Each structure stands twice: as C-alpha cells, then as structure tokens.
Amino acid sequence: MRENYTYVVLADDDEDDRLFFTEAFDELKMKTKVDIYKDGVDLMNALNQSESTLPNILFLDLNMPMKSGLECLTEIKSNPRFKDIAIAIYSTSASEEDIEDTFVSGANIYIKKPNDFKVLKKILSDVVTMNWQYHTSGLNKDNFLLRL
C-alpha cells in the first residue's frame, strides 16, 4: 500500500530549534513523520545505513559542529541513492551568498529560521505542500527551488 504521509528529517544542533520544529509539525494538518538528528555526523551515519528509509524532505541546519549542513549537502548530492530527497536548508543566515551557494550545490529549499512560531508553522506547511505537488504531479525536481 502506498504510504500517504511525508517523511521529514531534521539535523540541527540547537535544542530549542529542534523542539520548535517538531512542535510545528505536530500541529500541521498534513500527515507527516518526523525524525531528528543532533548533528551532521549522526545524520549521515543514519542515512548511509543501506536499509534506511529515506526522507522525502531533509532539513539541514547550516552551522553544525563536526559536519556542517553544506558538507552534508555535498555528500548527499554525490550519492545517487539520495537523488529523490528534497533538501531544505534551515538556517539563521539570510546572506544572499549563502542562499545562492546552497542552491547551486543542489539544495531545493532555503528557509531563514523565523522567530515567530506561527510563521514557522506556515513556512513548514508551505514546504510540505509544495513538495507534495512536485511528488504527486510529476514536476521536474531539478527545477524545484523555493526560498522562504
């Protein structure tokens, strides 16, 4: 049977951000399953397990110790097994340079972390909905760029 939910994974070293993130998803009306990793190393270890279920959308914090979001992104993009994962950068930075660099490196979505919980919920809902459209309507994922 086709699974009718979106599987979401976040890697973020900030505990508060992780908490807000899971809470925001709890309140969305779309069906989602959320897994959280505390840093890039944990995340990549989990993804690289050959039997791991791959997320539909992966949210990466840019600034993480040991392995940054950008390093994870580059690793993920060089592995064909991960080609169907939509990558969302989830960062405090809003520098145009960061944004464009991550898009060029293969990110699909760039989210500037909002301070307001309501705004966060709206953003995450937009991301999941938009990803769902790409997923279910056969749109070209190579052209999937979204900045929020």
Partner 1 sequence: MKIFIKFDFTQICTRVIDEKLEELGIKYRMLNFGEIEFLEDVPSDKLKAFDLILREYGIEKIENQKVILVQKIKDTIIEMVLNTDDTVNVKSSVYLSEKLGHSYGYLSNVFSEVTYTSIENFIILQRIEHAKSLMINTDLSLTEIAFRLQYSSVAHLSTQFKNTTGITPTTFQRIIAKRRALSDNKN
Stretch that binds partner 1, among 11-19, 54-62, 65-73, 125-133 (CB under 8 A): 125-133
Judged by CB under 8 A, the residue of 33, 103, 114, 122 near partner 1 is 103
Contact range with partner 1 by CB under 8 A, out of 37-45, 62-70, 84-92, 102-110: 102-110
User: Is 94 an interacting residue with respect to partner 1 (CB under 8 A)?
Assistant: no
Which residue, 64 or 86, is less far from partner 1 as judged by CB?
86
Q: Is the dihedral of CA 116, 122, 128, 131 positive or negative?
A: negative
Based on the number of CB atoms within 10 Å of its own CB, is 102 exposed (0-12), middle (13-18) or buried (19 or more)?
A: buried
SS3 78: coil
| Residues 6+ away with beta carbon under 8 Å from 133 | 139
- Residue whose tokens read 């790409």: 134
Q: Is 115 in the site for partner 1 (CB under 8 A)?
A: no
Residues that bind partner 1 (CB under 8 A): 29-30, 100, 103-106, 110, 129-130, 132-133, 136-137, 139-140, 143, 145-148
